[in-house]
Chains A and B, each alone.
Chain A
Amino acid sequence: MKGSTMDGEIWSVDRIEAGVAVLEDQQRRHLSLPVEQLPEGAREGDCLRRSDKGGFLLDSEETARRKARARDQFRSLTQAE
């Protein structure tokens, strides 16, 4: 099961500050956890999926999809000043 469109299953890394990662789900709920508990190489903007063992896995497909969507949306709304 991909699960990438299921609410609550995918967490986005909103920010990493002072060793604490703040994750956000599709209901905009937050989860703060030590950065050591993130999958290796995870950075701000990455999408994570809960693993069966309770940890998180990088979901690069979902990350790319959401980034492209946000970029397109941003570009469509920009105007020159």
Chain B
Amino acid sequence: MANRKSKRRSNLNWTVILLVSAVAAFCVLTTLEDKYELGLGLPGVNLPSLSFLYDYIEGFTDPQPGSEGYMENAIAVSGQAEDAALRVCMFSMGQADSILIRGPDKTVLIDAAENGQGSQVLRNLQEQGVERIDILIGTHPHSDHIGGMDEVIRGIQVDKVVLPEIPEEITPTSRTYTDLLEAISEKGLRITVARPGLAFDLGGGAAITLMGPLEAHGDLNNMSVVTRLTYGDTAMLFTGDVSAQAELRLAERQELKADVMQIPHHGSSSSSTDAFLNAVSPRIGLISCGLDNSYGHPHREVMERLAERHIQVYRTDLMGMITVESDGEKVYITTKQ
């Protein structure tokens, strides 16, 4: 008798476990499907009361490269983005930045990587079918952002160059900077000084607006041009190497909300303050950094702050080039090594 009771109890336990597991799995998948358009073909069931389960799925809030589920999902996302009129590529340039924005009508390049990487940036542009850059933005004159820019200006048609005006006391003295200015002059181009509020129409309802720099700072990182891209209901924020001082001013004075944000300064702990992350409230963070870089980017503190906010992180050092597409309603992400 005792054995039968025990067996019945055991069967009941297993039934409950299986039932709870099935419900939990279904809820997680529907929550993820709803949140990130994973292309799993699940019905749009909304179960907010169980959405807390999402918080506990390790490997989704902090996806790891090489994870089969992650890559499969990424490919499915790519398949769904055929009609996306806006594409952003964060190129994998080691410990340097270069980001392409292809709007419906116009193309923007933000930064052109490090000295000696200009030809690689040009090859990347060619692979993306880019024949002309309408707007070239140099976020700030450190060589890991503008190093390849003179080569890009000489290698492809560029219509407009946007740079921050640097205070006299921190004006760069590097050859990289003067070579850039010489290339601009050589091509008969002019510099548009980055001012907050300056906007450029990219066609089809897409536009970029410069958010910063808002004022003069005592270091070049904080002079970074911060650019907000909007298309339909979606927004993305590109931050250069902006650090705490400028972040706080931006958070106080600008509308920064974005679905996707470039995590500032390669994920350095000098940046990504709580105030800034709260002001932007991104769902997805992109980090451009080199594998095993000597700065230790992205810093652990920053990764913790992102994880606390359930910001899904994509990194060029581990995942290669990151492509974000938008159809005006949703964003789709793929990575390519």
Residues of A within 8 A of B (CB): 12, 14-15, 17-18, 20, 22, 24-28, 30, 32, 43-47, 62-63, 66-67, 69-71, 73-74, 76-79, 81
User: Do B184 and A77 touch (CB < 8 A)?
Assistant: yes
Which residues of the other chain, B, contact A76 by a CB distance below 8 angstroms? 185
User: Do B178 and A77 touch (CB < 8 A)?
Assistant: no
User: Quick one: closest B residue to A24, CB to CB?
Assistant: B174
Which residues of the other chain, B, contact A66 by a CB distance below 8 angstroms? 173, 178
User: Do A28 and B168 touch (CB < 8 A)?
Assistant: no
User: Do A73 and B171 touch (CB < 8 A)?
Assistant: no
Q: Provide 19 A-B residue pairs closer than 8 Å at the C-beta atoms, listed in order of the A residue.
A: A14-B142, A14-B143, A14-B172, A15-B144, A17-B270, A20-B294, A22-B143, A32-B294, A44-B220, A62-B173, A66-B173, A67-B168, A70-B177, A73-B178, A74-B171, A77-B185, A78-B193, A79-B192, A81-B193
Q: Quick check: is B195 within 8 A (CB to CB) of the other chain?
A: yes
Q: Quick check: is B335 within 8 A (CB to CB) of the other chain?
A: no
Query: What's the Cα separation between A62 and B296 when bound, in Å?
Result: 33
Which B residues between 167 and 207 are near A, CB-CB below 8 angstroms? Answer: 168-179, 181-182, 184-185, 189-193, 195, 198
User: Do A24 and B170 touch (CB < 8 A)?
Assistant: no
User: Do A45 and B192 touch (CB < 8 A)?
Assistant: no
Query: What's the Cα separation between A55 and B184 when bound, in Å?
Result: 35
Which residues of the other chain, B, contact A18 by a CB distance below 8 angstroms? 268, 270, 295-296
For chain B, give the interface size range: 35 or more
Q: B158: shortest Cβ distance to chain A, in Å? A: 13
Which residues of the other chain, A, contact B166 by a CB distance below 8 angstroms? 74
Q: Quick check: is B134 within 8 A (CB to CB) of the other chain?
A: no
Q: A18-B268, A81-B198 are in contact. Are A70 and B171 (CB under 8 A)?
A: yes
User: Quick one: closest B residue to A46, CB to CB?
Assistant: B173
Q: How many A-B contacts are there with CB distance less than 8 Å? A: 100
User: Do B176 and A14 touch (CB < 8 A)?
Assistant: yes
Question: Which listed residue, B175, B184, B195, touches A26 by the CB 8 Å rule?
Answer: B175
Q: A28-B179, A69-B178, A77-B184 are in contact. Are A44 and B170 (CB under 8 A)?
A: yes
Residues of B within 8 A of A (CB): 115-116, 142-144, 147, 163, 165-166, 168-179, 181-182, 184-185, 189-193, 195, 198, 219-221, 268, 270, 294-296
Question: Which listed residue, A15, A20, A62, touches B220 by the CB 8 Å rule?
Answer: A15
Query: What's the Cα separation between A76 and B189 when bound, in Å?
Result: 11
User: Do A45 and B143 touch (CB < 8 A)?
Assistant: no
Query: What's the Cα separation between A22 and B221 when bound, in Å?
Result: 14
User: Do A74 and B165 touch (CB < 8 A)?
Assistant: yes
User: Quick one: closest A residue to B171, CB to CB?
Assistant: A67
User: Do B178 and A15 touch (CB < 8 A)?
Assistant: no
Which residues of the other chain, B, contact A71 by a CB distance below 8 angstroms? 168, 171
Q: A15-B142, A30-B115, A77-B185 are in contact. Are A70 and B172 (CB under 8 A)?
A: yes
Among A12, A32, A46, A74, residue most surrounded by chain B Cβ atoms (within 10 Å): A74
